């Protein structure tokens, strides 16, 4: 048998095996590089396509309100067209990668639509960032805080309490004087009754002493507050602007209260002395009642002792106090009618209504807002409570109950208002942005710009009140601003009033607050600016009707304000675009694309059978998502 030991050609077989493996590996690397290139190109093409769709924003929405939104539901064909143009090869003779577009779709969830509070606020924030007229709102907030209305409200509250205390002092004085007359009547009543009456008087004197001391402390506090407010206001005003503060005077009840306390102390000492005498007389009467009728000598002796003790009783002087202050003159019929005439004139303004029968005034349903704001929260502003008061100012009378109750309501209203404005001044820049945006884009009664909106002159009033009737909103805002002016003018009048009595000051402040509030509203509806209050009459800063709307908007709860803003956007745009619905417009959209590309070498390895789901035969499947917004 012939054995062949020739080894020629062995290396060639090994080289073929190794070279084939290397070629397969190199081909796999080439396909991997092609996939990476395709991944990047598909991603860029989809991003560009989504941006192109975003560029097709609603021009009316931008033009009228400066907000960017697109309706993704009608933009799918545009997205596919943009995607195709950006993706496919432009060289017909050479295709490094063959793409096949399987599916392109566009979508947006409700939480990314214009009905979402966060998205809507961000749009306004971006718009106002470059416009930024915050100085107007900041000036209004600043002048309000520098007006010391928190301290003036405190002063009014102290004065109201002191006024009530003075009334109690008068009532207690009258009761004590009645008891004093009873106990000093020698011929009437038994000694035991007199002792009991004296004890009651002593108790009443003690209570009245405490009340007088408390009232005196309130008077001292009120006078200290008057001085402090005057000093703070002088810092805010220039020297030539301080004319209104010249006649500011302290309350002059302290001396009367001090004299009353001295009289009460003397009366208390006299009562103690007389009570001791009356107890001795009662003892003698008891002994006399137990005597034998035949013991005339002892009876006469006891009688003489009683007469002697009666002569020792100290006379009890009835209490007097400062003359009871007369109630201020009530408002005249003319002054009351002036306010009513202005309110009636506003009610006669032309106005429209939001009606279910009118396709233009289609309102956004509450469930749409709820769906878009599943995780949103209410803003920090709680909203200002309405000022409650009885407009029948003729109720002011000597007992002053009406004035005191109204003073309590004014204090609560201004205290809450001041707290909220201080909070906004510290951390409410967003709230200021929204307020200026509203006054820039929506109409109001004295607005100089005609925008052709559905509510021609009452949009801001609608945002504040939310009624479907334009005239009703305007009327309600009138009463809100009038109430604000009434409260501000009343506390300022109480501070400025030179009258020495709390009671008269309080009543006079309410009357003047009513008169000044009506005059201010007449001026503002006539397009004029008014001082914040009489003590700032000469200050450079004066407020318009729009400035008072700024304050009301700043103090309004955020959620109803944002919802009503979007209701008006939809109504106004439906005048131009009858099918417009804001819920269909998104500020953030998502594009999705499914693309397959051809593979050159990877199919030879049959990787799809090894569980690689993205490889389908000779193709590689690409899935890309792009989420972009304005």
Q: What does the pLDDT average to over 219-237? A: 80
Q: What does the pLDDT average to over 496-521? A: 85
Average pLDDT, the chain: 84
pLDDT for the residue 474: 94
The helix or strand, by DSSP H or E, that contains position 309, with its residue range, turns out to be: helix 296-312
pLDDT for the residue 38: 92
pLDDT for the residue 398: 45
- Write out the two tokens for 83: 């995607």
pLDDT for the residue 617: 82
Percent of the residues in the chain that have a pLDDT greater than 70, as a whole number: 87
| Angle (deg, nearest 10), helices 134-146 and 545-554 | 80
Please report which confidence band the pLDDT of residue 432 belongs to, taking 50, 70 and 90 as the band edges: confident
The helix or strand, by DSSP H or E, that contains position 416, with its residue range, turns out to be: helix 401-427
Q: How many residues does the structure list for the chain? A: 630
Ranges of each domain in the chain? 10-108+593-629, 117-146+328-574, 161-236+254-312
- Write out the two tokens for 203: 């108790």
| Helical H segments across 55-71, by residue range | 59-65
pLDDT for the residue 605: 74
Strand 615-616, strand 588-598: pairing? unpaired
pLDDT for the residue 56: 92
- Write out the two tokens for 286: 């008891």
pLDDT in tens, 1-14: 455 565 555 567 67
Of 92, 38, 30, nearest to 620 by C-alpha is 38
pLDDT > 60? residue 397 = no
Q: What does the pLDDT average to over 403-426? A: 87
pLDDT for the residue 245: 59
pLDDT in tens, 292-334: 777 788 888 888 888 888 888 888 888 877 655 556 667 777 8
Q: What does the pLDDT average to over 166-180? A: 85
DSSP-derived secondary structure letter, 194: H
Q: What does the pLDDT average to over 251-258? A: 77
pLDDT for the residue 91: 65
Q: Which residue has the higher pLDDT, 178 or 121?
A: 121
pLDDT for the residue 479: 93
Q: What does the pLDDT average to over 62-83? A: 90
Residues 54, 67: Cα–Cα separation, whole Å: 12
Q: Among 194-198, 210-214, 516-520, which stretch is predicted with the lowest mean pLDDT?
A: 194-198
Q: Among 91-100, 343-352, 469-478, which stretch is predicted with the lowest mean pLDDT?
A: 91-100
Q: What does the pLDDT average to over 443-463? A: 92
pLDDT for the residue 580: 94
pLDDT for the residue 187: 45
């Amino acid at each position: 048998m012939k054995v062949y030991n020739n080894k020629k050609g062995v290396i060639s077989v090994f080289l073929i095996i190794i070279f084939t493996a290397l070629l397969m590996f190199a081909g796999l690397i080439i396909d991997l590089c092609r996939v990476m290139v395709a991944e990047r190109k598909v991603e860029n093409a989809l991003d560009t396509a989504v941006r192109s769709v975003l560029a097709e924003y609603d021009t009316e929405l931008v033009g009228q309100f400066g907000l960017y939104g697109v309706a993704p539901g009608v933009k799918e064909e545009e997205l596919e067209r943009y995607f195709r143009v950006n993706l496919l090869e432009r060289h017909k003779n050479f295709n490094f990668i063959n793409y096949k577009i399987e599916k392109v779709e566009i979508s947006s969830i409700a939480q990314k639509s214009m009905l979402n509070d966060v998205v809507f606020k961000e749009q306004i924030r971006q718009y106002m960032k470059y416009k930024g007229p915050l100085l107007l709102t900041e000036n209004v907030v600043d002048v309000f805080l520098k007006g010391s209305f928190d301290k003036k409200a405190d002063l009014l509250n102290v004065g109201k309490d002191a006024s009530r205390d003075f009334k109690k002092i008068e009532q207690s004085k009258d009761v004590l004087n009645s008891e004093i007359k009873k106990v000093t009547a020698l011929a009437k009543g038994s000694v035991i009754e007199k002792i009991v009456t004296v004890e009651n008087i002593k108790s009443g004197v003690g209570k009245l002493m405490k009340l007088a001391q408390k009232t005196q402390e309130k008077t001292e506090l009120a006078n200290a507050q008057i001085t402090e407010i005057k000093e703070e206001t002088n810092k805010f005003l220039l020297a030539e602007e301080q004319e209104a503060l010249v006649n500011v005077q302290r309350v002059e009840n302290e001396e009367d209260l001090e004299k009353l306390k001295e009289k009460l102390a003397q009366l208390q000492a006299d009562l103690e002395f007389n009570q001791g005498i009356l107890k001795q007389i009662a003892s003698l009467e008891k002994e006399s009642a137990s005597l034998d009728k035949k013991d005339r000598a002892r009876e006469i002796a006891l009688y003489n002792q009683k007469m002697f003790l009666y002569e020792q009783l100290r006379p009890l002087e009835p209490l007097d106090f400062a003359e009871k202050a007369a109630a201020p003159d009530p408002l005249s019929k003319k002054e009351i009618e002036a306010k009513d005439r202005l309110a009636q004139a506003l009610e006669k303004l032309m106005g429209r209504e939001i009606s279910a029968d009118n396709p233009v005034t289609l309102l956004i349903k509450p469930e749409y807002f709820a769906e878009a704001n599943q995780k949103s929260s209410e803003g920090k502003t709680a909203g200002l409570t309405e000022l409650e008061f009885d407009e029948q100012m003729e109720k002011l009378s000597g007992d002053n109950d009406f004035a005191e109750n109204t003073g309590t309501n004014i204090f609560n209203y201004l205290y809450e208002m001041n707290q909220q404005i201080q909070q906004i001044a510290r951390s409410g820049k967003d709230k200021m942005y929204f307020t200026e945006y509203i006054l820039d884009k929506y109409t109001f009664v004295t607005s100089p710009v005609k925008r052709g909106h559905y509510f021609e002159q009452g949009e801001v009033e609608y945002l504040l009140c939310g009624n479907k009737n334009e005239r009703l909103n305007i009327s309600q805002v009138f009463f809100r601003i009038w109430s604000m002016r009434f409260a501000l003018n009343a506390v300022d009048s109480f501070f400025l009033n030179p009258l020495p009595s709390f009671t008269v000051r309080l009543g006079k402040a309410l009357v003047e607050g009513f008169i000044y509030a009506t005059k201010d509203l007449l001026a503002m509806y006539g397009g004029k600016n008014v001082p914040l209050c009489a003590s700032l009459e000469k200050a450079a800063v004066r407020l318009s009707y729009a400035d008072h709307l700024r304050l009301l908007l700043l103090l309004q709860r955020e959620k109803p304000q944002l919802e009503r803003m979007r209701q008006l956007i939809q109504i106004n745009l439906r005048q131009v675009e009858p099918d417009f619905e804001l819920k269909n417009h998104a500020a953030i959209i998502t594009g999705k694309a499914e693309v397959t590309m051809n593979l050159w070498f990877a199919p030879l390895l049959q990787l799809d059978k090894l569980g690689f789901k993205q490889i389908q035969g000779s193709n590689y499947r690409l899935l890309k998502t792009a989420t972009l917004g304005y």
